[in-house]
Amino acid sequence: MPDPPSSSLFTRFVLENPWPAGILLLAIAAIVAWRELNGGTVRRLAPAGIAALLGLLVLGAGWAVETSGEHARRVVARFVRDAEAGDVDAMDLLLAPDAALALGRADAPGMDRSAVDAAIATLEGANRIESNTITRLRGYTADAGTGVVHLSCLTTTASSYGNVPSHWVIRVRRQTDGSWLIDRLACIEIAGRKPEWGWMR
Statement to judge: residues 73 and 152 lie in one domain: yes
The parent domain of residue 60 ranges over 17-64
Count CB neighbours of 9 within 10 A: 7
181: CATH: 3.10.450.50
Domain total in the chain: 2
124 lies in the same domain as 196: yes
> Between 8 and 54, where is the model more confident?
54
Residues 170 and 76 in one domain: yes
60 and 121 fall within a common domain? no
* pLDDT tops 70 at residue 170: yes
pLDDT-above-70 percentage for the chain: 88
Collect all residues with Cβ–Cβ distance below 8 Å to 171 and sequence separation of at least 6. Answer: 72, 142, 146, 147, 148, 149, 182, 183, 184, 185, 186
C-alpha span between 105 and 61 (Å, rounded)? 34
Express each pLDDT in 74-116 by its tens digit.
Answer: 999 999 999 999 999 999 999 999 999 999 999 998 899 999 9
pLDDT tens, position by position, 35-45: 877 766 666 67
Residues 51 and 119 in one domain: no
Question: Diameter of the chain by CA atoms?
Answer: 74
**Same structural domain, 23 and 117:** no
Does 40 share its domain with 129?
Answer: no
Q: Are residues 80 and 31 in the same domain?
A: no
168 and 144 within one domain: yes
